[in-house]
Chain A
Amino acid sequence: MSEQGARILIVDDEPQIRKLLKVTLQAHRFTIHEASTGEEGVLQAMMSQPDLIVLDLGLPDISGMEVLGRIRDWSSAPIIVLTVKDREEDKIAALDGGADDYVTKPFFMGELVARINVALRHAAKSTNEPVLQFDGLTINLAQRIVELNGERVRLTPTEYDLLKILASNAGKVVTQRQLLQQVWGSQHNESDSHYLRIYIGHLRKKLEEDSTMPRFIVTEPGIGYRFKSREY
């Protein structure tokens, strides 16, 4: 499934983590570039023009957030940030600041590779696909029709908008703020997060067999939601 030969830049100050990523990702046929500091990372991002960047947020010289911002200024290459647990605010800041996804340390290697593949695919994909197909779920964006196992699912406008945003970012995490902004506009307030949860609950009731074991819309606690599909 890997996008073979894609160039990946790893920015991490820990040699052990760099080595682990390098060995594993090379085995998955990626080409690896490395940087051990933030400054070097920004420089390498320009020099090697990577297709994807794996960025550790805890760097010794400049903050990972700054590296993220400086790369995002001119590059649209997907960036996956590595963070430690319990720093949800960092994750949200990074995601809202232009990162495409995050992986919490310590991570399972398979999880990271899957995230890399999703991000590369999204970067390569043409944006105007009229029909999104998932495991039993079809979303016809042109006609605004949702079908589950061949049967039409009736959704309210808000539910449909939410599903559309999540599904077109399938495999990627979408933060609560991103959802609120895209569905309710920039005027959203604190109580809208309450509505967001209610609508997600409604969506799950209509799409999932068991809402406590969701198949499609998975909660990332404290961050947002991720549309999961067997495709990835």
Chain B
Amino acid sequence: MHRLHSLWLTYRSYAGITLLVALMTMVLQPLEFAFDLVNIALIYLFPVLLSAVYWGLGPAFYAAVLSILAFDFFFVPPTLSFTVKDLSYLISFGVYLAVAALTASLAARLKQQLAYSRQRETHTAALYALSRQMSAITDIHSLLDNVALQVEKTIGTNIAIYMPDDRNKLAQTHGSAAPGEWGQGNMEQVIASLVFEHGEEAGNGTNTLRDSPGYYLPLRTEDRIYGVLAINLKERKGGISTEQRRLLEALAGLTASAIARVKLAEEAKIAHLTAESERLRTAILDSVSHELRTPLAAIIGSATSLIEGDLLFSAEDRMELLLNIRDGALRMNRLVANLLSMVRVESGMLRLKKNWCDVEDLIGVALSQVKAFQEHRRMKVRIPESVPMVRGDEVLLEQLLVNVISNAIKYSPDRSEIIIAVTPAEDKLVISVADEGIGLAEEDYDRIFEKFYRSDVARQFTGTGLGLAICKGIAELHGGTIIASPNVPKGSVIAITLPVDESAVPQDIEKESDGYE
């Protein structure tokens, strides 16, 4: 049944032509006397042209021969015989065949061109799709994943992409092949390296290693080679067409320029960071030189006074100067500690020593740290009975709390109230510190976490503008956030949000009885 069907598909053009010619003959024969023979001959060209356009060269010739035979047999005198009386008809027959051949080959070429432009269209669509996706991707990894996918879709075979690693050694980074399959072999690696070094295509159908089962293309822009695209043609008889080769070249070029774009963006980012650190350095110099010199002046002045004019001072004066020295030194100590913390948090060198932290304990430690300078401010802690523990670096989290609470103390009047509240939410914990201090201008609430930023209202107090920037760094290192907002009726609230992963908390401890004597 199936074979019959395919046979039918192959020969249906011939059957159609036979039927058409037979029909025409049946229709034309009764009209023989109404038409000139020449006209009838012209009508018989119709099936020839038709089959040339739709079915190609073979059917066209068949139609020509059949038409000649039908015309000869039924119309050319003597009718109902193949004999030809007037030999000039033989020339007509020749012309017939020539017309058939010519139109058929023209039509065939037309058809081929159609198929060709269809293919071009799909290729262009593929390139277009790829380039559109590429411009949206900003990291090389997903970019190459995309390329691999797209090439496989268009060419229909598996591929491998090789990229140099940090030490400029080429290694397969992407491809459909599972480990151990095509692309991982020694042979493929060697050819890929060769292509990477020379920047010329190699493998199947090229001038280098023509018989290799793979086709290797450099991913190159004008000035650099970024990697190698390899196509597995092992299971593909006859390799790939010139057209596909051209498509692959275009894809490789596109990929290379996309990689170049991503790399450039990375470099631009580094350049931006460098500029930023330059700006920062200036700010540090300005701020630090002032912040260091002021306490130093106090220390040196007080100490030299004490040494040189020992007899001039009363006991109280002496104590005054000594306290001056201590406070100046403590201020410098805070500054140095803040600077070091800032550098650590910023540099990314900081490794979090994550541990279970009891927030109540952290607040307690922070409060004991600020006790020395809280004067008569009332510190209120509002903490629910049971609070989940957070995973974090307790030293850093304590520093974060100390900085925030110190700030609240610094910018609020003595005898005012500072409320530290802990609110557990679904998968996070919010620690807020609310003061009744000077508050901030609307636009400053976002900016106070910037390095060295000091709001106008804060300038009357000494400080570097580092404390809150460190807080932000620490909160973010823990996957949390820190925001500032106005307090009602006055002052500000700093809210620290830390993530809580309930599922990571160890099973609750077994209940121990405390009834032992």
Chain A residues within 8 Å of B, Cβ to Cβ:
85-86, 88-89, 106, 144-145, 154-160, 191, 193-195, 197-201, 211-214, 218-219, 221-222
B329 touches A106 (CB 8 A): yes
Query: In the complex, what distance in Å separates the CA atom of A199 from the CA atom of B356?
Result: 13
Range of interface residues on B (Cβ < 8 Å): 35 or more
- In the complex the two chains form, what is the Cα distance from A144 to B517 in whole Å? 7
The listed residue (A88, A194, A198, A214) touching B353 by CB distance below 8 A is A88
List the B residue with the shortest CB-CB distance to A108: B326
Near A by CB (< 8 A), chain B positions 348-371 give: 353, 355-358, 360-365, 367-368
Docked-complex contact A197 and B389, CB < 8 angstroms: yes
**Are A154 and B363 touching (Cβ within 8 A)?**
no
Partner of B394, one of A145, A155, A222: A222
Q: How far is the CA of A136 from the CA of B338 in the complex (A)?
A: 39
Interface string of B385-402 (1 = CB under 8 A from A): 000010001110010000
A45 to chain B, nearest CB (A): 31
A219 to B341, CA, bound (A): 21
A residues in contact with B368, CB < 8 Å:
213, 218
How far is it, in angstroms, between the C-alpha of A29 and the C-alpha of B365 when the chains are bound?
33
- Complex contact B361–A200 (CB within 8 A): yes
B517 neighbours in A (Cβ, 8 Å)? 144-145
Interface string of B3-23 (1 = CB under 8 A from A): 000000000000000000000
A96 to chain B, nearest CB (A): 15
Interface pairs (21), CB distance under 8 Å: A86-B340, A86-B341, A144-B516, A154-B514, A158-B512, A194-B505, A194-B506, A195-B509, A197-B357, A197-B389, A199-B509, A200-B358, A212-B360, A212-B381, A212-B383, A213-B367, A219-B361, A221-B362, A221-B394, A222-B353, A222-B394
Contact of B515 among A145, A154, A158 (CB under 8 A): A154
Q: Separation in Å of the B304 CB from the closest CB of chain A?
A: 17
Query: How far is the CB of B307 from the nearest CB of chain A, in Å?
Result: 15
Instruction: Let me know if B344 is at the binding interface, CB within 8 A.
Output: yes
A212 touches B329 (CB 8 A): no
| Interface residues in B126-160 (C-beta closer than 8 Å to A) | none
Separation in Å of the A85 CB from the closest CB of chain B? 6
Q: Which residue of A lies closest to B506 (CB)?
A: A191
Give Cα distance in the complex from A81 to B361, angstroms: 25
In the complex the two chains form, what is the Cα distance from A197 to B365 in whole Å?
14
Complex Cα gap A213–B90 (Å):
122
Question: Using Cβ atoms and an 8 Å threshold, which residues of chain B touch A193?
Answer: 355-356
The CA-CA distance from A212 to B357 in the complex, in Å, is: 14
| B364 near A211: Cβ-Cβ < 8 Å | yes
Docked pose: A103 CA to B506 CA in angstroms: 33
A155, B389: Cα distance in complex, Å: 22
Question: Which residues in B have their C-beta under 8 angstroms from that of A212?
Answer: 360, 363-364, 367, 381, 383
Contact B514 A195 (CB under 8 A): no
Bound complex: CA A86 to CA B340 (Å): 9
In the complex with contacts A194-B389, A221-B395, A221-B398, A211-B360 CB distance below 8 A: yes
User: Lowest 4 A-B CB distances belong to which pairs?
Assistant: A156-B512, A191-B506, A222-B395, A212-B364
CB proximity of A127 to chain B, nearest CB, Å: 24
When chains A and B are docked, how far (Å) is the Cα of A106 from the Cα of B398? 19
Judged by a CB distance under 8 angstroms, whether B333 is at the interface is yes
Chain A residues with CB under 8 A of B356: 193-194, 197
Decide: A159 and B514 in contact? CB cutoff 8 A. yes
Residues of A within 8 A of B333 (CB): 106
Looking at the complex, which one of A88, A106, A159 makes contact with B395 (CB distance below 8 Å)? A88
Determine whether the beta carbon of A201 is less than 8 Å from that of B395.
no
Interface positions of B (Cβ within 8 A of A): 329, 333, 337, 340-341, 344, 353, 355-358, 360-365, 367-368, 381, 383, 389, 393-395, 398, 505-506, 509, 512-517
Whether B329 lies near A201 (C-beta < 8 A) is no
Residues on the B chain within 8 Å of A200, using CB: 358, 361
Q: Per a CB cutoff under 8 Å, which of B355, B367, B513 touches A156?
A: B513
Evaluate contact between A201 and B514: CB separation under 8 angstroms: no
- Across-interface contacts of A154 in B (CB, < 8 A): 514-516
Nearest CB on A from B54, distance (A): 78
Q: Are B361 and A157 in contact (CB under 8 A)?
A: no
Contacts of A106 in B (CB 8 A): 329, 333
A39 to chain B, nearest CB (A): 30
Set of chain A residues within 8 Å of B383, measured between Cβ atoms: 212
Q: How far is the CA of A200 from the CA of B360 in the complex (A)?
A: 11
Q: What's the Cα separation between A155 and B329 when bound, in Å?
A: 45
Chain B residues with CB under 8 A of A219: 361, 364-365
Chain B residues, CB < 8 A from A160: 516
Compute how far the CA of A221 lies from the CA of B517 in the bound complex, rounded to whole angstroms. 33
**What's the least CB distance linking B425 to chain A, in Å?**
21
CB contact between B514 and one of A144, A155, A222 (< 8 Å): that residue? A155
Whether the pair A85, B337 counts as a contact (CB closer than 8 A) is yes
Q: CB distance A201 to B358 under 8 Å?
A: yes
Query: What residues on A are CB-neighbors of B340 within 8 Å?
Result: 86
Q: In whole Å, how far is A48's beta carbon from the nearest beta carbon of chain B?
A: 32
Q: Give complex CA distance A117, B69 in Å.
A: 130
A144 and B514 alpha carbons, distance in the complex (Å):
12
CB distance from A23 to the nearest CB of B (A): 15
What is the minimal beta-carbon distance from A226 to any residue of chain B, in angstroms? Answer: 11
> By the criterion CB–CB under 8 Å, are B344 and A86 in contact?
yes
Shortest Cβ distance from residue A145 to the other chain B in the assembled complex, whole angstroms: 8
Determine the residue in chain B with the shortest Cβ distance to A89: B353
Chain B contacts for A214, CB-based, 8 A? 364
Given contacts A191-B506, A219-B364, contact A157 B337 (CB under 8 A): no
Q: How far is the CB of A207 from chain B (nearest CB, A)?
A: 13
Q: What is the bound-complex CA distance between A85 and B338, given in angstroms?
A: 11
Residues in A whose Cβ lies below 8 Å from that of B514 = 154-156, 159
Q: Is the CB–CB distance between B395 and A195 below 8 Å? A: no
Cβ–Cβ < 8 Å partners of A197 in chain B: 356-358, 361, 389
Cα distance A221–B353 when bound, in Å? Answer: 12
Give Cα A82 to B70, complex, Å: 118
Q: Chain B nearest CB: distance from A74 CB in Å?
A: 33
- Which of A155, A160, A219 is packed against the most chain B CB atoms within 10 Å? A219
Minimum C-beta distance from A44 to chain B (A): 30
Which residues in A have their C-beta under 8 angstroms from that of B516?
A: 144, 154, 156-157, 160
* Complex-state Cα separation, A106 to B356, whole angstroms: 28
Min CB gap A63→B, angstroms: 20
- A106-B333, A156-B514 known; 14 other A-B pairs, CB under 8 Å? A145-B517, A156-B516, A194-B389, A197-B356, A197-B357, A200-B361, A201-B358, A212-B360, A212-B363, A213-B364, A219-B364, A221-B365, A222-B355, A222-B394
